[in-house]
Amino acid sequence: MSTSGTGTGYGAGTGAHAERKAAWAVGGSILAGVLLLVTGATNILQSITAIRRDSFLNGVSGYAYRFNITSWGWIHFAIGVLLVVTGLALLATRHKWARYLGIGIAALNLVAQFMYLPYQPVWAVVGMALSAYLIWALATERGGLGSGVRT
C-alpha cells in the first residue's frame, strides 16, 4: 500500500477489479442487445403460431384476459418487431434512448407474456424471465456499450 497518497489503496476504485466490473457491465449490455433480437424473433414465431390458430396452443375458457387467439398473434407480432428494432438500435447506435426504449418494450413484453400464460404457459414463463433480465441488464448498465459511448 502506498504512503504517498497517490496509490490505489483500499476503496480507490482504480485497480484491476474496477476494470473487470466495467467489462462485465458492457458484456451484459451487449448480451441484452442480442437478447432483444432473440426475444423479438421468438415473439414473431410465437405470433405466427397464434395467427394460424395452430392446435399447438392451449384452449382457454373463463380467462379474464381472453382475446381471440388471432388478436394475441398480432399483439405478439407487433411487440416482436419492436423488440427486434430496439435490439438493432441498441447494438448499432449505442444511444441512451435505445436503452430506455428497450426497458419499456421489455416491460410491455413481460405484461403481454403474463397475459398469454394460459395459452402457452412454459413459453410465457420463459418470455417473462427473458424480459425481466433485459430490464435489469438495461437499467443497471452505466457506461454504454463499449468505448464509443454516445449519449
Task: Assign 3-class secondary structure to 49-73.
Answer: HHHCCCCCCCCCCCCCCCCCHHHHH
CA-CA distances (angstroms) from residue 133 to 26, 28, 33? 15, 10, 11
Of 42-46, 80-84, 102-106, 119-123, least confident by mean pLDDT is 119-123
pTM for the structure as a whole: 0.74
Output the pLDDT for position 44.
96
pLDDT digit string, tens, across residues 58-115 = 666 777 767 778 888 899 999 999 999 999 999 998 788 999 999 999 999 999 999 8
Pull the grid cell for residue 54.
395452430
The answer to whether the beta carbons of residues 130 and 40 sit under 8 Å apart is: no
Output the pLDDT for position 20.
55
**pLDDT beyond 60 at 40:** yes
